[in-house]
Amino acid sequence: MVLVLKDGANKREIEAIEKKLSKGASSGFNAKKYNGVLKIKGDALEIQKQLRSEWERDFS
CA angle 43, 44, 45 (to 5 degrees): 90
Contact 51, 42 (CB under 8 A): no
pLDDT tier for residue 27 given thresholds of 50, 70 and 90: low
Averaged pLDDT of the chain? 80
Residue 12 pLDDT: 92
Contact 3, 17 (CB under 8 A): yes
| Model confidence at 43: pLDDT above 70 | yes
pTM of the model: 0.36
